[in-house]
Amino acid sequence: MLAVPRHRFVSEAPLRIAYADDVYVTKRNSDGEPVSSASQPAIVAEMLEQLDVRPGHRVLEIGAGTGYNAALLDALVGPEGAVTTVDIDAETAGRARRALEEVGSGRVRVVQGDGELGFVDDAPYDRIIATVGTWDLPPAWWDQLAEGGRLVAPLSIRGCEHSVAFDYSDGAMRSRSIVSCGFMPMRGLGSQEGQAVELSEGRIMTFHVEHEVEADGVRGVLDGRGTTVWTPVQLKVNDDATQLSLWLACAFAGYGRMSAPFGDHGLQRLLLRWANPAVVEGEDFAYLVCRRTGGGIEIGVRGHGPHGPALAARVAEEVRVWDRECRDGVSLQITAYRKGTGPEVEPRFTVPKRHTRLAIEVAFEGNGFE
Ligand SMILES: C[S@@+](CC[C@H](N)C(=O)[O-])C[C@H]1O[C@@H](n2cnc3c(N)ncnc32)[C@H](O)[C@@H]1O
C-alpha cells in the first residue's frame, strides 16, 4: 500500500481524508446514494490478503471505481502479470483509466461493461475479485476463472454480507476465509432488489428482507405486544456478532436486517443498531435484543405476532446452537455449486441462488479452512 499513492485516485480530497482509514465516496445517484467510491483501506488490504495475488498472475477486478485497488493489483502482479478492471459506469471507468495512467499503471486494462459478464477477452484469470456487493456468483465468473484459481467477492446471504475467498477446483468453489464487510450493491444484470417494510407506525424502524419473502404481514407488527426469550448466551468483548448474523441468515429463509437509525425503539435494546438480525414468517416477527448482565451482554430474542413467541423460541434455539458449535475460531464453510450440480447429500444449510447453490457447513480444524 506504500507503493500506491491513494491521494492520486481521490484527487478532490484533502490529504488528511485521502489517507484516513475510511471509504471516500466519489459519485452519488440522484437520490444521494453512493454509487462509486474508494473503499476503506482496511477492507481493501484484507481482501487483497484473501486474494493471495502472486507475481505473474492474471487478475480480473469487478468494480474499477477510482482505480486504486487496480493499481495495488498491478503492483502485486508485477511486469509478468496482467490486470483487467471493469466498471459499469462509463464516467467512472474513464476516471479510473486516467488516474492509473497518471501514476504509471497504464498497463491496467480498464473496461466499461457489466461485471456480471466478466471480461472474456482476457480470460482465463488466476484471480477474480469483486469490489462491489454481489448476491450470486454469475456463470461468467465460473467460466473465466482458471482451475485452481481464487475468487474473492462480497457475497450477500439474505442481506448478510461477507467477503468470501473461494478456491475453485473440480466444479466447486470452496471458501477459505470469510470476512465481514459492507459494499454498495451491484447494478445492472446482477442487481437484486430487496424490500423494506416499516415495522412500527410513526417510528422509523425498517426491516430489509429479500424480495421473494412474504413480508407484508409484519407491517406495524411492533405496535402489538411482544415476548422476550432470553437465551442465556453471552456476547463477549471480542466476539464477532456478524458470525452469529451469518449463522441465522443461513438458518432462516425469512432472515433480514432491521435498523433503527434514530436510536432504539423504546422497547428492548437491539443487539445491533444497524442490520440487527431479524426473521419474518407470515405475520410473525422475531429479532435479537440484549441486556447487560454481570458477565457481559446476554442475547435475547423478542417475538411479535400471533405465533411470535414460538418463532422467538426457534430463533433463540439457533442462537444456542451457534454458541455450542461455532465459537472460538470455528467458522462456517461455504461451498458454491453451479445450479443442478454438486453432491446430493444435504449440507447443514442450503441457500439457493439464481445461478448457484450454496452448501454451508460448520468448518472443523484441518479441513483447509483458514
Ligand atoms: C466500491 S466501488 C469500487 C472501488 C474500487 N475497487 C476502487 O479501488 O476505488 C464499486 C464500483 O462498482 C461499480 N459497479 C456497480 N455495479 C457494477 C457492475 N455490474 N459491473 C461493474 N461495476 C459495477 C460501481 O460503478 C462502482 O464504481
Q: pLDDT tens across 22-59, in order?
A: 999 999 999 999 999 999 999 999 999 999 999 999 99
Position 99 confidence tier, pLDDT thresholds 50, 70, 90: very high
- pLDDT at res. 368: 47
Position 204 confidence tier, pLDDT thresholds 50, 70, 90: low
Between 261 and 228, the more confident residue is 228
Q: How far is the CA of 186 from the centre of ligand 1 (A)?
A: 7
Atom number, ligand 1, closest to the C-alpha of residue 89: 25
pLDDT surpassing 70 at residue 241 = yes
- Is residue 74 lining ligand 1, measured as CB closer than 6 Å? no
pLDDT surpassing 70 at residue 207 = yes
194-325, what's its fold?
Answer: TATA-Binding Protein (3.30.310)
User: Which CATH number is associated with domain 6-188?
Assistant: 3.40.50.150
Residues 6+ apart with CB under 8 A from 102: 8
Q: What is the mean pLDDT of the chain?
A: 92
Could you tell me whether strands 125-130 and 109-112 are parallel, antiparallel, or unpaired per DSSP bridges? unpaired
- Which one-letter amino acid corresponds to residue 194? G
Q: What average pLDDT does this structure show over 292-312?
A: 92
Ranges in the chain annotated CATH 3.40.50.150: 6-188
- pLDDT at res. 304: 93
Best residue for ligand 1 mutational test, from 68, 131, 135, 137 (most atoms within 8 Å of Cβ): 131
127, 149 in Cβ contact below 8 A? Answer: yes
pLDDT surpassing 60 at residue 369 = no
If you ran DSSP here, which 8-state letter would residue 7 be given? G
Atom number, ligand 1, closest to the C-alpha of residue 114: 20
pLDDT surpassing 90 at residue 353 = yes
Q: What average pLDDT does this structure show over 246-251?
A: 96
Q: What average pLDDT does this structure show over 244-248?
A: 95
For 334, the enclosing helix (H) or strand (E) is strand 331-338
Nearest CA among 296, 286, 276, 328 for reference residue 232:
296
Ranges in the chain annotated CATH 3.30.310: 194-325
- pLDDT at res. 262: 60
- Is residue 35 lining ligand 1, measured as CB closer than 6 Å? yes
- pLDDT at res. 265: 56
Alpha-carbon distances, residue 42 vs 38, 160, 181, 186 (angstroms): 11, 19, 10, 21
Residue 29 buriedness (CB in 10 A; 0-12 / 13-18 / 19+): exposed
pLDDT surpassing 50 at residue 370 = no
Nearest CA among 196, 310, 303, 302 for reference residue 258:
196
338, 355 in Cβ contact below 8 A? Answer: yes
Q: How far is the CA of 89 from the centre of ligand 1 (A)?
A: 8
Q: What average pLDDT does this structure show over 169-197?
A: 95
Position 264 confidence tier, pLDDT thresholds 50, 70, 90: low
- Is residue 110 lining ligand 1, measured as CB closer than 6 Å? no
Q: How far is the CA of 141 from the centre of ligand 1 (A)?
A: 16
| Proportion of the chain above pLDDT 90, given as a percent | 78
Q: What average pLDDT does this structure show over 3-32?
A: 97
pLDDT surpassing 80 at residue 329 = no
